[in-house]
Chains A and B, each alone.
Chain A
Amino acid sequence: EAGVTQFPSHSVIEKGQTVTLRCDPISGHDNLYWYRRVMGKEIKFLLHFVKESKQDESGMPNNRFLAERTGGTYSTLKVQPAELEDSGVYFCASGRASSYNEQFFGPGTRLTVL
């Protein structure tokens, strides 16, 4: 079975630009999570989808971040406009509906804002 995939693997943008990160979960996984690791810090939760619905977005840092999961399959995370402090690695994870303990992670997208 294919794992969680994320695109792009790296992105370098200027401050003020917009970037969209994509996550394709494992097929059939209703749960989809976004996490972020800022340089030198721990990986932190951003939000959680169940199918196409946002179950929990308590970790989203501010309204410059917009996550969507139209159709309940892949998800996008848009940062607009990007700021320097948004630099970091963005991870996506997916899991089946039956358990929050099951989270399969993708390789992450490394975002650098200059």
Chain B
Amino acid sequence: QKEVEQDPGPLSVPEGAIVSLNCTYSNSAFQYFMWYRQYSRKGPELLMYTYSSGNKEDGRFTAQVDKSSKYISLFIRDSQPSDSATYLCALASNTGNQFYFGTGTSLTVIP
């Protein structure tokens, strides 16, 4: 069983839609939950991270962690064409050094 499972998509939505991206994981030792965004032909960049459970909001982006279900989500409100990218979830334990990545979900926002 993989440490982290992520639906690869691809996901295609109209501009302005609400997007939901999800990952599940198996290791209860994970404490840091991250979302990276990767534009075509670029390296991944950290979008946001959450420590332990709960929600975190940053502009149009909301990250949710449900540790009881081992389920994390990223919501994008009012999606824009510039949000078109691959989104990777990443998890780390308390030591924080080694990250475990999902396979990434490819998102296209159509104008």
Chains A and B are bound partners: no
